[in-house]
Amino acid sequence: MNLATKYLGLDLANPIVPSSSPLTRNVESLLALEAAGAAAVVMPSLFEEQIEHEAMAVHAALDYGSEISAESIGGYFPEMDDYNTGAGDYLDHLRAAKEALSIPVIASLNGDSAGGWTLYARIIEDAGADALELNIYLIAADTERPGPQVADEYLRLVERVRAAVTIPLAVKVGPYFTSMAHMAGRLIESGADGLVLFNRFYQPDIDLETLTVGPNLVLSTSEEMRLVLRWMAILHDRVDASLAATTGVHTSEDVLKLILAGADVTMMASALLKHGTGHVSTVLEGVEQWLERGNYESLDQARGSLSQRSSPDPSAFERSNYMHALTEYSSKY
């Protein structure tokens, strides 16, 4: 069965891509993912906060003592560019991953403001990444900042990173836009070659014993995939960009549904953390068997055949689906 797909212009053997997680953090598990059939990998993110924190620490070190003696004017240290600022570890890992793997390695930058940290995109490109994923993880909590201003911030950030690199750029966003479909088009106009749908925002929780608020990371379940499924189906064939699905992709059924809706690739983190790297091959087998049973010749043939544009019932992805679901629901009580 031909499972080949194209994502961000990269030719991939199949649509399974482990997304950023601790499993893509070291070369050993990356090799295990590749051996199990992963078609590409997304590295964990280099975070805006990490870059800025380290840059400040280096500036403090550069300034320290610089006014004390003639020799020291201009600082005791060479320019920051020459320093391993901690992002250096990230670049080392990227280079090691590129060296060890034959599948494409997608690096990841994660932030929420269009600041100087975005210049690290260029450094990541120079270190050999095949593509870059920009994760815009923005919680719009400022009561003074209206929606259009928040949207502009997203677009400025994409433009900045786009200007810094020539490698393909994917943008990972959450689903909470007033007009998701319109925003998708604007992200692409601003330079995204692909969209990664959707960021899974970790919800804080309150511990009633300690009265503290914690991040309480809970892994996803397949049910969460259905939000992605809707938007995949709506956006397929409507936007000129690659589409990746992330959040709630656990089984071969999840992968197949997203492909039918129009995904170019499906990404996994929670499922691999729960079941191990070998889960990739189990999922691939299931995908292949289903396609064979349906007499498909390739994955491409199935892609998008149940997108909103191709679906016999396009309204099922919108409001009528909701009305139907509510009126049809029956309870045993």
**Positions in the binding site for ligand FMN (CB under 6 A):** 19-22, 44-45, 108, 110, 135, 172, 200, 219-220, 246-249, 268-271, 273
Q: Shortest approach of ligand FMN to residue 217 CB, angstroms?
A: 6
Q: Shortest approach of ligand FMN to residue 89 CB, angstroms?
A: 14
Select 90 or 317, whichever has its Cβ closest to ligand FMN.
Answer: 90
Q: Shortest approach of ligand FMN to residue 235 CB, angstroms?
A: 17
b/e map 94-119, b = 16+ CB within 10 Å: beebbeebebbbbbbbbbbebeebbe
Find residue 152's DSSP bridge partners. none
Select 205 or 297, whichever has its Cβ closest to ligand FMN.
Answer: 205
- Backbone φ and ψ for 298, nearest 5 degrees, come out as -155, 165
Select 222 or 310, whichever has its Cβ closest to ligand FMN.
Answer: 222
Select 101 or 269, whichever has its Cβ closest to ligand FMN.
Answer: 269
Select 21 or 307, whichever has its Cβ closest to ligand FMN.
Answer: 21
Q: Shortest approach of ligand FMN to residue 65 CB, angstroms?
A: 36
Select 253 or 326, whichever has its Cβ closest to ligand FMN.
Answer: 253
Select 80 or 273, whichever has its Cβ closest to ligand FMN.
Answer: 273
99: amino acid identity, one letter: E
Q: Report the C-alpha dihedral over residues 259, 265, 269, 273, rounded to 10 degrees.
A: 80
Alpha-carbon distance of 61 to 44, in angstroms, equals 28
Q: Shortest approach of ligand FMN to residue 268 CB, angstroms?
A: 5
CB 42 within 8 A of CB 21: no
Sheet holding 194-197, edge to edge: 16-18, 265-268, 242-245, 194-197, 169-173, 131-136, 105-111, 41-47
Q: Shortest approach of ligand FMN to residue 24 CB, angstroms?
A: 9
Alpha-carbon distance of 252 to 260, in angstroms, equals 12
Q: Shortest approach of ligand FMN to residue 82 CB, angstroms?
A: 27
Select 49 or 79, whichever has its Cβ closest to ligand FMN.
Answer: 49
Written as six digits, the tokens of 241 are 């960009």
Q: Shortest approach of ligand FMN to residue 171 CB, angstroms?
A: 11
